[in-house]
Structure formats: structure tokens, C-alpha cells
Amino acid sequence: MLSRSLTLAVLLAVASPLMAADGDTPLAQERGRSRPLIIIASSSVDSTLTTLKKQLDEPANKEGFAKRSMVLYTIVGLAGQRNGKEMDAQSTMALIRELKLGVLDKEQAQVILVGKDGEKKIDHKGPIDPKEIFSTIDQMPMAEKEAAAPAPVAPAAETKAAAQGGKPGKAGKGAAAAPPAGLDD
């Protein structure tokens, strides 16, 4: 009896992180909602990291970043951040594993853009201009669909009231009140 309980406990301890790893990764949580921009550098004074962060803090680039539903991940050494907030070590390692980076270049930082579909769109070593990143996003099919989203449709009651010159929700003078829809006896 004791050996069965011990065996079950060991199996759960080994299997739990493996099962949780599939859906709990940072990129899996961003999929369909935002476009992660990931900067991986060996030190916090890396020129690519500091320059790109400074450029993204400029008002025009900050607006473009938000407009395109982007989120910034930085990994310096083994410490990760999401939009300037510290990530725990497990989330940082899950992000590194999910990117399948292989051997990292100690000399140059790496910039990776991941689309809403979870696929890498840019994998660049060294400095990169935010305009190039924004241009890549603007050429994506998902960005085109978001830009071509139809305008919200006005409800029928407001449209009728506007045509009669009255206020929305009120029937015009002399108009017969229609029974509420969906009431069956």
C-alpha cells in the first residue's frame, strides 16, 4: 500500500510540470491576443537592447507599438521581463524553451517578433529599426483583417427614430407602438 502511494506521488510530481508546460508558456498565453517582441541580450548595457528600448519609448513609436497590439519581452542573461515587469524564473525558462533558440550569440542581442498566430515573423541579430518591425506587422494578413473590420451597426430602433427625427428609443408622434418581440402566448 505504501509503495503504491509513493509510486503515485512520484508520477504526479514528474508529470505535473510536463502537462502544465503546454498551455502555461508566455507565448501560448499571448497567442491570438498580442504580438510579442522579444529582445534577448547577454547584459543590460547591450547596445541593441538599450537603443531599441529607447526608440520604443518615443511617443510615435509607443503609439505604433500599442496600436499593433504588441507586448515587449526582454531576457537579459536568465532574467526575464514582460512590459517592464519581472517574470519568474520558470516563465522565463519556458519562454526560452518555446523559442527554440539553440546557441545564443554572446556578442549580439537577438530580436524576435512573434505574430498573433504564434509563428516567428522576424528573427534578427543586432540592431533593428522599429519602423522595420512595424512594416512587417502591417504586411501580415491578421493586421489587414483588423484594419478592415466593419464599423459597428446601429440598432434598428435607433435607426428608425433617427429617420423620423425623434430621439432614439422613443416612437414618433402618431406612430403605433409595436408589441415587444419574442413574447408568445
Contact present, 130 and 121 (Cβ < 8 Å): no
| 49: phi then psi, degrees, rounded to nearest 5 | -60, -50
Q: Is residue 93 helix, strand or coil?
A: helix
Q: Which amino acid is at 62?
A: K
Tell how strand 79-82 and strand 85-86 pair up.
antiparallel
Residue 124 has what pLDDT?
87
Domain parsing of the chain, residue ranges: 23-146
Residue (of 133, 98, 138, 103) closest to 119 by Cα position: 98
Q: Which amino acid is at 38?
A: I
- What gap in Å lies between CA 102 and CA 97, rounded to an integer? 9
Residuewise pLDDT in 10s, the chain (185 residues): 555 555 655 555 555 455 444 557 888 888 888 899 999 998 888 888 889 899 989 999 899 899 988 999 999 888 899 988 999 989 989 988 888 876 566 778 889 999 888 888 888 888 888 899 899 988 887 655 554 455 555 555 555 555 555 555 555 555 555 555 554 54
Name beta bridge partners: 82.
73, 85
Residue 118 has what pLDDT?
86
pTM of this structure: 0.63
Name beta bridge partners: 75.
40, 80
70: left (phi over 0), alpha (psi -120 to 50) or beta: beta
Cell of 118: 504564434
Structurally, what CATH architecture does the domain formed by 23-146 represent?
A: 3-Layer(aba) Sandwich (3.40)
Angle between helices 59-67 and 47-56 (to 10 degrees): 80
Residue 99 has what pLDDT?
85
DSSP tag of 175: P
- What gap in Å lies between CA 77 and CA 108, rounded to an integer? 13
Residue 86 has what pLDDT?
92
Residue 73 has what pLDDT?
92
